[in-house]
Amino acid sequence: MLYYEKLINEDATEWVLFIHGLGGSTKTWKYQMDRFSKEYNLLLVDLDGHGNSSQEEAVSPYKPTSTARLIDKILVHENIEKVHIVSLSLGTLIALEYVRLYPEKVSSIVLAGGIVNLDRFRKIIFRIARFTTAHFPVEQAYTLFAHIIMPFHKHKQSRDIFIREAKKLNQATFRKWVESVGKSNDMLQNYVSIIKNYKIPTLFISGKRDYLFLDGIKELCKKTKEFQFHALKDCGHVCSIEKSNLFNNLTLDFLDSIQPKKHKYAKMHIH
């Protein structure tokens, strides 16, 4: 079973599940824990091979599937019937996969720095990334990968956060997760269909400087009017840390808006 932590609010009945990104851990959410625990019970997990979770035996060739199933074992063990999911970067793939596998257990989903709709250019980038993780020493591979996906000076804050967290992983774990990102595109239409069919309120939050993934999210949200989307100014990929106060406000407002279980739709917003 994956390592996880709980924060219980005795006055709360609803749960928020936090799923971090590549190289992260439960500590990724340190800027969210105090704010969210005032209104919700919190469940924070360390992904397979991250933090205090060991490298699990694969039960699926697509790693987000294996991890989503491991997360569900935690929910079953803790008798948690339904969750709001807040996810970051790579964690958004796992969140979407959890929705595909267990849609009836998801009240809403928030995707920060979401990874969707990889076009040919972005697939090439991830092929280069897989090569670097396979042929370069560990720390060099992480640094090269960070500069590939966040190359410009304005990306420095996101890049530094990523490198710091990625160094905590072993090379085999890092490589397997990078490979999973490259396979994500094939699943996208399934995710969209399930979210629509089950009417799961969905919010995307991204930084306007997230050059690698932002265009795909904007395109998806234009096509799928049910999705809410906020783009944060002067912010890169790791928006839940770089703009934590704004991220918290937007996410909590979103969750509050669906408490009556009445789905509110919104257009794109630039902050």
Domains and their CATH numbers in the chain:
4-118+185-270 (3.40.50.1820)
Per residue in 72-94, pLDDT tens? 999 999 999 999 999 999 899 99
Q: Any bridge partners for residue 15, and if so which? A: 41
Q: Given a cut of 60, is residue 260 above it in pLDDT?
A: no
Q: Any bridge partners for residue 5, and if so which? A: 44
What's the longest Cα–Cα distance across the chain? 52
Q: Which tokens sit at 172?
A: 């085999």
Q: Which residue has the higher pLDDT, 35 or 140?
A: 35
Contact predicate 83/75, CB 8 Å: yes
Per-residue confidence (pLDDT) for residue 106, from 0 to 100: 98
Question: Mean pLDDT, to the nearest integer, of 107-113?
Answer: 97
Per-residue confidence (pLDDT) for residue 78, from 0 to 100: 98
Per residue in 226-251, pLDDT tens? 899 999 999 988 999 999 999 999 99
Q: What is the pTM of this model?
A: 0.88
Per residue in 16-73, pLDDT tens? 999 999 888 999 999 999 999 999 999 999 998 888 888 765 555 568 888 999 999 9
Per-residue confidence (pLDDT) for residue 262, from 0 to 100: 40
Per-residue confidence (pLDDT) for residue 226, from 0 to 100: 84
Per-residue confidence (pLDDT) for residue 190, from 0 to 100: 85
Per residue in 160-213, pLDDT tens? 877 877 777 777 777 777 777 766 666 777 888 999 999 999 999 999 988 888
Per-residue confidence (pLDDT) for residue 125, from 0 to 100: 66
Q: Which tokens sit at 65?
A: 């599937």
CA distance 222 to 200: 17
